[in-house]
Homo-oligomer: A and B are copies of this chain.
Amino acid sequence: MGAFIVIVEDEEDILELIEYNLEKEGFDTMGFTSTKNVSQLLEEEDVDLLIMDRNLPGVEGSEFVGQMREIGVETPVIYLTAKNKESDIEEGFERGGDDYITKPFNMKELILRLKAILKRTQKDKTEGKVVYRDIILDLGSRELFIEGNNIELTKLEFDLLHTLISNQNIVLDRDYLLEHVWGGDAIYQDRTVNVAINRLKEKIDADKSKEYIKTVRGVGYTLC
């Protein structure tokens, strides 16, 4: 469960301490000493959790989160705050923050809460079903049904189809797919996508005349 966690904290010592400990727990982290660049990151990347100091120079932490919420960013937040007056805490909650921890804080506590929040939100992620025409993808049991028939998929095939369905009618290029299905770091060839798509096609378009996955020459693939 290598979640991606962004930390905003102006005191560098504390920032490093948090990053060190979270990475030791197996999380991917990225630290900032101001909210600069953070909004862009939240919008564009798949950030699982934000840890945010409330007492930043310049913008108030909760102010910032408020703005994020307004443009539809739902990333859960843990506030770090020296204040522990109740009014402040309430305000933090009101603005859509999910938890708060008062400084000085216990690293174990932070990690405990963080895991609790992740558990909650990650679970939401896996609940439910995604549907496209005759195709039903059950995210919980990881089963695929086409016209009621259960079709077995490998992990890769499932993730690939999941991404395609989530972006139906949008053409996804190979780079996008590599990044989202295969994951960021490792480097693969384009052809990898190619082959994977075709193995998936084989199962999906099997006996049907219908063609679900369409190749868009020169660009990528789409479920249209």
* Contacts from A to B (Cβ < 8 Å): 1, 67, 70-71, 86-87, 109, 112-113, 115-116, 119, 126, 140-142, 154-156, 169-171, 173, 175-176, 179, 184, 216-219, 222, 224
Residues of B within 8 A of A155 (CB): 216-219
Q: A67-B109, A126-B170, A170-B126 are in contact. Are A216 and B142 (CB under 8 A)?
A: yes
Query: In the complex the two chains form, what is the Cα distance from A184 to B156 in whole Å?
Result: 29
Query: In the complex the two chains form, what is the Cα distance from A154 to B219 in whole Å?
Result: 10
Query: In the complex the two chains form, what is the Cα distance from A113 to B108 in whole Å?
Result: 34
Closest B residue to A25 by beta carbon equals: B187
Contact in complex: A70, B112 (CB < 8 Å): yes
Residues of B within 8 A of A109 (CB): 67
Q: List 21 A-B contacts (CB under 8 A).
A: A1-B175, A67-B112, A67-B113, A70-B113, A70-B116, A71-B112, A71-B116, A86-B87, A115-B184, A126-B170, A140-B170, A140-B171, A141-B169, A141-B171, A141-B224, A142-B171, A142-B219, A154-B217, A154-B218, A155-B217, A155-B219
